[in-house]
Amino acid sequence: MIASLFFIQLASVSAGSAIDQCQLAEQGADALREAEARIEHHTLANGLQLMLLPMPAQQTVAIATEVDVGSRHEQIGETGYAHLFEHLLFEGSENAPGEAYTQAMRQLGGQFNAETWFDYTRYYIQFPAHALHRVLWLEADRFRRPVLSEKTVENQKAAVLEETAMRVDNTPFFRASMEFMLQQMAGTPYAHDVLGRREDIVNATPASLSRFHQRHYFPANTRIALTGQFQAEQAAQWLQQQFGDWRNPRELPPADAAITVEPTEAEATLTDSRSPWPALLLAWHTVGQQHPDRAAIDLFERHLLGMPDNRLEQALRQEDSTFIVQSIALPMADHGLSNLVLVPRAHKSLDDLEQTVLQNIAEVAEQGLSTERLCQLKADHIEQQLRRLDDPLQLASALVANGERFPHTPLTGQWQNIQALTSADLQRVAKQYFQRQPIRLELQPAWYMRVAKTLLEWLPESWAKGLEESAL
């Protein structure tokens, strides 16, 4: 409801009224501050961080749990363990063996999911409010006492390998392009993919995974956020009962060492006969989530790639140059990669598309942004944040996602950085990070399709478009 009202107000602001859009964005930020002021922060004696945000108008409760373990924390022979363990945490615990957890959640009409990334693993659940006490018991049991039987481990190893085959190996260019991009971070803990190497997954055992759990799943390494319909005092008591005696390892692991990636020029061509058409992948090294330039880069990416009216897609559409423009950001704690995939129309070459991209970057680097555009970008950011206030699951996820970067301002910390940005800031990051030579990867189909595509590029545009459908 809050986001909908904001969107109506934003739509009513005249296109040329930059000041009104900036003022409206600041008013939207007030709603975030009001919600943020209602968050109760608790840190248990064992270091477990809790964020509680009651939402009396809701009928459900959402719980998001973030554990500071991702692929960067995997040792030699353990690649893929963080993701594999994510699967295993839905497969039974000491007091809820086998499928008891998933069956209980389905009986409640709840939903549950998880994700693993380079720096973290996050778990999400949402369920009817009356079941909070029971669900907290289930959550504590699976995080503290997972049962890693031989059968369960073998089943989930098979599931992970099947997921890898379906999502990676059966998709043209996916594995080869992923490996090429990870090579750009060679020599760092970010240099292997989250799904892991097949041999490491195959060789995983209940004993090796149990050691992984003991090393990374402990209260001082974990954040939990609750949102929805509950009494904060009661919820805090139940959390203390279920998690208060969860013990840390005798020796806590050292804090993550900062990762430094030295940007280098890279260019390659991949060929995959399964692909029906060429594509171009461009990428730029940027910075991690903690870097002072992160907010400016986020807003620049939103301007060029992210919004429905982003400038690059407008330019390419005006030229009738592409079928697909897909932006894929890879944000990490200590590094960033901005990726762009472009699929050309018949009459346009990959070089043509690259030139259009570079021209749009140069425009910002040379001229900056108008006040109107800058305010529009800021208002769009606020509108996206406000959408979370009506959705307990999205809100809980945002709290744990931002809890480490902005422990006291998890809803407005990012806005404080974005609100302060000027056109000169975006001009500077466009020059510093995006005007250097991009990483360039051509994705080419079989030789006969490459020949056909080259011939179409030589033909008059109207002829090429006419033959395009037949060629595809």
- Domain ranges across the chain: 40-243, 277-471
CATH topology match: 40-243 vs 277-471: yes
432 exposure class (CB count in 10 Å sphere: 0-12, 13-18, 19+): middle
**With 90 as the cut, is the pLDDT of residue 297 above it?**
yes
Distance between CA 338 and CA 284 in Å, rounded?
Answer: 5
Q: Which residue has the higher pLDDT, 52 or 251?
A: 52
15 exposure class (CB count in 10 Å sphere: 0-12, 13-18, 19+): exposed
**With 70 as the cut, is the pLDDT of residue 450 above it?**
yes
Domain 40-243: give its CATH code: 3.30.830.10
DSSP string, 18-82: HHHHHHHHHHHHHHHHHHHHT-EEEE-TT--EEEEEE-TT-SEEEEEEEES--GGG--TT-TTHH
**With 70 as the cut, is the pLDDT of residue 12 above it?**
no
SS3 state of residue 422: coil
Query: Contact at 8 Å (CB) between 229 and 60?
Result: yes
**With 90 as the cut, is the pLDDT of residue 68 above it?**
yes
403 phi and psi angles, rounded to 5 deg: -65, -30
- Name the DSSP class of 186: T
Q: Which residue has the higher pLDDT, 125 or 315?
A: 125
Give the residue among 268, 263, 439, 432 at the shortest CA–CA distance from 339.
439
Share of the chain above pLDDT 70, in %: 94
Q: Average pLDDT of 373-397?
A: 93
Query: Contact at 8 Å (CB) between 190 and 259?
Result: yes
> Which tokens belong to 222?
């974990």
Q: Average pLDDT of 205-224?
A: 97
Tell me: the pLDDT tens digits for 406-437?
999 999 999 999 999 999 999 999 999 999 89
**With 70 as the cut, is the pLDDT of residue 8 above it?**
no
Please give the angle made by the CA atoms of 37, 39 and 44, to the nearest 5 degrees.
Answer: 135
Q: Specify the pLDDT at position 236.
A: 98
Q: Specify the pLDDT at position 321.
A: 74
Q: Specify the pLDDT at position 471.
A: 61
Query: Contact at 8 Å (CB) between 443 and 283?
Result: no
Q: Which fold has domain 277-471?
A: Cytochrome Bc1 Complex; Chain A, domain 1 (3.30.830)
Lowest mean pLDDT among 60-64, 101-105, 214-218, 463-467: 463-467
**With 50 as the cut, is the pLDDT of residue 14 above it?**
no
**With 70 as the cut, is the pLDDT of residue 365 above it?**
yes
